[in-house]
Chains A and B, each alone.
Chain A
Amino acid sequence: MKKSDRPHLSGAAGSTRAAVATALLIMAVVLATALFVLLPRIERSFEALDTRSDHVATSIAESVAADVHRAIGLGIPLDAMRGVEPYLDNILSANPSVAEIRVLDPTERTLYAAGEPGLVYGAHREVRAAISGESLDGTIVVVPSRQMLQRVHDHIVEAAIAIAIAAGIAAGVFYRIVALERRDLPQARFVVGGRAVSHGVFADFSAPRPGPFQPLGQAAARLTVGLRRGQRRLQSVVDEVRALDVTHTLHERIGAALAPLSAYRFDRPFKVRRLEVGFVWWPLLLLTMAMATRPLATNFAEDRVGDDPILPLVIAATMAASGLGGLFGLLAARLLGGRLSKLVTLVATLAAAIAIGSTFILRDVTIFIATNAVAGFGVWFAAFTVLLAEGAGARRPWRAALVFLAAAAIGPAFGGLIAESVGRRFAFLTIGVLLAIVALASTAGAPRRVRRVRTLFTLGPSETFALAAAAMTIFTWSDLYVSAAAFTENYATMAMHFAILGAASFVPVATGARPPALFGAALAAAALAAAFLIDLPAIVATVSIGLGFGFTIHALGARGFGGTAAAIILAALVLTALCEGFGYPLAFAGIMIAIPVAGLLVLLSLLTALASGRARRTRGHR
């Protein structure tokens, strides 16, 4: 049997399969129920929209009738008016809730018309206003458009997709974390303990934590208790005999009797330092809440300046503030985090909560940019205070994946859905309040002891460039395109894209596929380029970019979630912001600058991979 074919000690593969099954099951049930059962019933409440559409159409019909009536009053015959159709076109272009306007003469003959009949509700739905003075001079017919109805319908469908994915991932991740703590790690300990016993080590293995393995672990511990007790009794007899055997005549016989026991050890062969596990839920919650602002931040900044030419600079400053704040937060976590864990998680998270929540009342874009810097600093400082501590989630790639990728998948979908439900400002306030609760939650439990901050994992040059390219692609697509350009104030669509992006980035983790990091970065960068250069459909680009990022980060294993990787990801955010900023003096879209930069990073990753491969071969020949 090959090593790779052997079942894993911890049974982690089984837990991953069960978690994926749970996530897919929830996604399927929620999506099917929402789209095929609930949506048709919710559509009945669209009647309110019909009524409101009729009001708009009535207002427009009456206004047009009054204008035409005034013209008739000036002596212009209805069928000889000039400029009526451009006038109707103007009204239509300013009022998307109306599809068609017609001016009819008293015999119901259409004299003037404007609009697109394809957008109407149905043939029979129209509003009429009479042009009447002393007698009926004509009629204005206005047909309400179904644009708003269609928009509401589309938003509900997109919200269903976002909710199904977010709920599935949240449940799958929760399942996986609980399985990890209660089942996989205790199983690994039990199996390793059993194998140690099979090698003759009968040391006192401590019992597992509460969970399915606790009774088994206790029984297994009792199995060796009798042996150790027997060995101690034997040892006392040996001591007694040796004490009495003053002539040493029995020395050889005692040695011969004890010889078979030399194959066994009744104490620990080495000192075991028990690492703290758990508390992974906290950085997961913190990062999820913090990521919830991603669909909101750049378009909020955009709205502060509107069509002002400095818009790219404002968006760039917002993103750069988050990235630079995060980098300083990482540095602070490296310097202080291990010593002041609980104080840091409370204060830094509260600072981030206040910064994000204060957006509710903010008007000034400069202050908003400053709050982004504070939020970035607080969140990354607090999160990495926990994650850089020895024994925390970053030690194991699958556990860290559950923190980082899950937060990036669930958070923005959650933020988008809140903004869709209560508006953007209230969404910032809600996220701030939730972050404050997360901050208080970090103080729960026993004091966290001072722990050593782990050495930052280092990445090779090729991996560094690959990770930077993949992260830059993600930020360009999601923050610059989805949030700031394509779907401004369309939060359901944003939530859907972020959820799909997150789900796609989880595919490599769920399937265990692990091509080189360069492959993922190249896939993401190619998808980004294709989206803008050959009009690759947005949804396909979202899936491909998410997959590419997932492949890259999964290929790096535990190192993909260490402090170095986090610094590279934040630096990529700043680099994306710089591309956007350079768009201002160059009069060029920032995205079109970011695409070649991401491509260049992929190329550098390839070249450094080839160079290091050649160096390895050369060393091999020597």
Chain B
Amino acid sequence: MGRIGGLALVLFATLAALTAFVVVAARTVEQGDRALGGAELDFVLGETEQTIERNLQLGLPLAELQQVEPLLERALAHAQSVIAADVFSQNGTTLFSTDRGAVGEPVPEAWREAIANRRTHQSWQAEEPQTMTIGRPLANDFNHVEGWVALIVDRASLAAPLSLLGPLLAQNGVIIALAGLAALILGAVLIPRRDAAILAAHAAILAKEPPRDAREPIGASAGVAIARVREAEAVLDTAAGELQRLDEEV
């Protein structure tokens, strides 16, 4: 690779790496934001679940617990991103909800899938176009799941993917460009110019004169080759002259 190619590579790699850094940093901040949002929801959900389970442990059926609705209203009030809170039975029918119209209705298929595919720990999460739902099981004293409590969250309230990227790139674009320039300047100092020996050997071969820079390996190789070619030319000329004379004699 030549020097210009090397410098172009340094510039490109520096710009690409710093842009990638800003992308990863933006995503990391967004995910931190999302994790904190998740922690808030998890706390509210956990509190609601524990309170409902305390009532279940008194032996009452889930559908007959009168305290559930105020608890769901309280959960709704505590977390700003929550747009609804539901409690539904094991067969997927909504028993209590902050959205009165949902009571008695079957829960969305995405929730059932999320429950079926949940990992070994107990909570589950279902993604839908406008909302995200997190839920936990409601178990009685005998660890039998009586139903589920779920919080429905407005996705718009969570950090949108790559929402930070644009502003961060705009703020730091000039710095990234300056860093690329600095890498270019340092590269011009550090990356050696290696074509001098090639150019010297080329000039020497064209002139059929020994190169000025006859160091190993290019110059030396060119030098001995030129010397040998000149010697061979002289030998050929002598032989050709002699044979010419013989030709004339014949």
A interface, CB within 8 angstroms of B? 6-9, 11, 14, 17-18, 21-22, 25-26, 29-30, 33-34, 37-39, 41-42, 45-46, 48-49, 52-53, 55-56, 59-60, 62-63, 66, 91, 94-97, 148-149, 151-152, 155-156, 159-160, 163-164, 166-168, 170-171, 174-175, 178-179, 182-183, 187, 190-191, 193-195, 197-200, 202, 212-213, 215-216, 219-220, 223-224, 226-227, 230-231, 233-234, 237-238, 240-241, 244-245, 250, 253-254, 256-258, 260-261, 264, 303-308, 363, 417, 420-422, 492
CA distance A26 to B117 in the complex (A): 45
CA distance A420 to B238 in the complex (A): 77
Known: A152-B29, A223-B225. A21 touches B74 (CB 8 A): no
Interface string of B17-55 (1 = CB under 8 A from A): 110111111111101110111011001101100000000
Quick one: which of B17, B20, B119 contacts A26, CB cutoff 8 A?
A: B17
A42 touches B228 (CB 8 A): no
Q: Is B175 an interface residue (CB 8 A)?
A: yes
CB neighbours of A163 from chain B (8 A)? 17, 20-21, 24
B13 touches A26 (CB 8 A): yes
Q: Is B84 an interface residue (CB 8 A)?
A: no
Report B119 CB to chain A, min CB distance, Å: 6
B14 touches A29 (CB 8 A): yes
- Chain B: interface secondary structure? helix
Not counting A178-B1, A193-B221, A216-B198, a sample of 16 additional A-B residue pairs whose C-beta atoms are within 8 angstroms of each other reads A22-B9, A22-B190, A34-B21, A37-B179, A38-B176, A42-B172, A45-B167, A56-B36, A167-B14, A183-B1, A187-B217, A193-B225, A197-B228, A216-B201, A230-B233, A492-B28
List 17 A–B pairs whose Cβ atoms lie within 8 Å, in order of A's numbering.
A17-B192, A29-B183, A29-B186, A38-B25, A49-B29, A56-B40, A63-B43, A97-B39, A148-B32, A148-B35, A148-B36, A170-B13, A190-B218, A191-B218, A241-B247, A308-B120, A492-B28
B43 touches A421 (CB 8 A): no
Q: Is B243 an interface residue (CB 8 A)?
A: yes
CA distance A37 to B21 in the complex (A): 12
A226 touches B175 (CB 8 A): no
CB neighbours of B17 from chain A (8 A)? 26, 30, 163-164, 166-167
A219 touches B46 (CB 8 A): no
Report A218 CB to chain B, min CB distance, Å: 9
Known: A49-B32, A198-B227. A33 touches B175 (CB 8 A): yes
B28 touches A159 (CB 8 A): yes
Q: Is B107 an interface residue (CB 8 A)?
A: no
Known: A25-B186, A227-B233, A241-B246. A30 touches B198 (CB 8 A): no
CB neighbours of B187 from chain A (8 A)? 22, 25
CB neighbours of A9 from chain B (8 A)? 217
Q: Is B90 an interface residue (CB 8 A)?
A: no
Q: Is B191 an interface residue (CB 8 A)?
A: yes
Closest 7 pairs between A and B when the two form their complex, measured CB to CB = A194-B221, A306-B120, A167-B17, A198-B224, A197-B225, A171-B13, A257-B242
CB neighbours of B233 from chain A (8 A)? 226-227, 230
A95 touches B226 (CB 8 A): no
Within 8 A of A (CB), among B235-250: 235-240, 242-244, 246-247, 249-250
